[in-house]
């Protein structure tokens, strides 16, 4: 009990002003500092989480793409495995068939093999000729397209020159308007004797004036120039049009030649058999 009284006495003797004030500045400083630190930490973690979430989404996308690719490859490989099993069996049967028949047929036809080879060479020659002609048309088309592409800018250049000449009246009018405006500005500056300003405006005036002088021709000269450029433009247009026509004509020839080649390839085996049977009716008759 004494201890308790002394404690009470000590507490009672202590001046009220010495008691720790509620919400002191020092405690606020520590608390606010901790709060700011927590806010910054939370912000950093949220930023890190956002980056992590974006990375997760990106990774999931990559996983999905790779899984799709792997599944596609696996599916293709599985199909190939099944095909390979049946193909190996067929290959063995076909190989044996080819070996047996080839050996027997060559033994029977003897020297007539050279006659068959002659037919094959003829058909091969026909194929080579078609392919050579088709390839030559490809080269002609490339050159024709190149010629046409070079003709286009030539015509466009002449057309622009012709259009510029036709619109020269408007251009001269624009220049005269600018020159009159500059003359008015120079006259105004002259009234206040501002020679530096006048100098600048005269410099602005000089190239426009020189350009306009070069544009102004007498009617006969202007007409002659316009006629000349028009003729040149028309000539370039005709050249471009002819080259475009050449491109179209060669394209059509190429289309027909490719069609002829495709038809030949479709009929090649049947036509070759027909030629062999017609030329060598008894060839291949066992025991013949």
**pLDDT of 62-120, one tens digit each?**
778 888 888 898 899 898 888 888 888 888 888 888 888 888 888 888 888 889 999 99
pLDDT of 287 strictly over 50? no
Q: What is the mean pLDDT of residues 219-226?
A: 84
Q: What is the mean pLDDT of residues 221-228?
A: 87
Q: Which long-range contacts (CB under 8 A, 24 or more apart) does 50-54 make?
A: none
Q: What is the mean pLDDT of residues 127-154?
A: 96
Separation CA 23–CA 15 (nearest Å): 19
Average pLDDT, the chain: 83
Structure confidence by residue, pLDDT tens digits, 146-189:
999 999 999 999 999 999 888 777 787 787 888 888 999 999 88
User: What ranges in the chain are assigned the alpha helix state H?
Assistant: 2-13, 25-109, 112-166, 168-191, 195-215, 219-279
pLDDT of 145 strictly over 90? yes
What is the length of the chain?
Answer: 288
Res. 2 pLDDT band, cuts 50 70 90: very low
* Percent of the chain residues topping a pLDDT of 70: 86
Structure confidence by residue, pLDDT tens digits, 25-54:
455 567 667 667 777 777 777 777 777 777
Q: Which long-range contacts (CB under 8 A, 24 or more apart) does 278-282 make?
A: 279/115, 279/119, 280/112, 280/115, 280/116
State the pLDDT at residue 31.
Answer: 66
Q: What is the mean pLDDT of residues 19-29?
A: 50
State the pLDDT at residue 211.
Answer: 79
State the pLDDT at residue 89.
Answer: 81
Structure confidence by residue, pLDDT tens digits, 275-286:
999 988 877 564
Q: Which residue has the higher pLDDT, 264 or 103?
A: 264
Which among 15, 14, 32 has a CA at the least distance from the CA of 23? 32
* Percent of the chain residues topping a pLDDT of 90: 37
Q: Which residue has the higher pLDDT, 9 or 116?
A: 116
């Amino acid at each position: 009990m004494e201890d308790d009284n002394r404690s009470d006495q000590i507490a009672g003797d202590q001046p009220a002003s010495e008691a720790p004030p509620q919400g002191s500045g020092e405690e606020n400083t520590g608390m606010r500092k901790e709060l700011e630190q927590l806010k910054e930490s939370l912000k950093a973690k949220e930023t890190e989480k956002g980056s992590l979430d974006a990375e997760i989404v990106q990774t999931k996308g990559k996983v999905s793409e790779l899984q799709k690719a792997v599944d596609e490859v696996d599916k293709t490989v599985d199909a190939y495995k099944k095909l390979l099993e049946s193909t190996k069996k067929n290959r063995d049967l076909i190989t044996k068939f080819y070996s047996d028949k080839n050996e027997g047929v060559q033994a029977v036809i003897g020297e007539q093999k050279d006659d068959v080879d002659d037919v094959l060479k003829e058909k091969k020659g026909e194929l080579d000729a078609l392919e050579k002609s088709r390839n030559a048309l490809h080269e002609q088309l490339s050159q024709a397209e190149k010629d046409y592409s070079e003709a286009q800018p030539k015509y466009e250049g002449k057309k622009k020159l012709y259009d510029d000449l036709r619109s020269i009246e408007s251009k001269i009018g624009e220049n005269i308007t600018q020159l009159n405006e500059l003359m008015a500005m120079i006259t105004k500056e002259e009234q206040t004797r501002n020679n530096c300003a006048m100098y600048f405006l005269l410099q602005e005036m000089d190239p426009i004036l020189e350009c306009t002088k070069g544009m102004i021709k007498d009617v006969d000269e202007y007409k002659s120039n316009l006629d000349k450029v028009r003729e040149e433009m028309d000539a370039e247009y005709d050249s471009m049009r002819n080259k475009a026509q050449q491109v179209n004509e060669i394209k059509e020839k190429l289309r027909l030649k490719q069609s002829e080649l495709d038809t030949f390839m479709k009929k090649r085996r049947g036509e070759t058999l027909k030629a062999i049977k017609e030329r060598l009716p008894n060839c291949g008759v066992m025991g013949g």
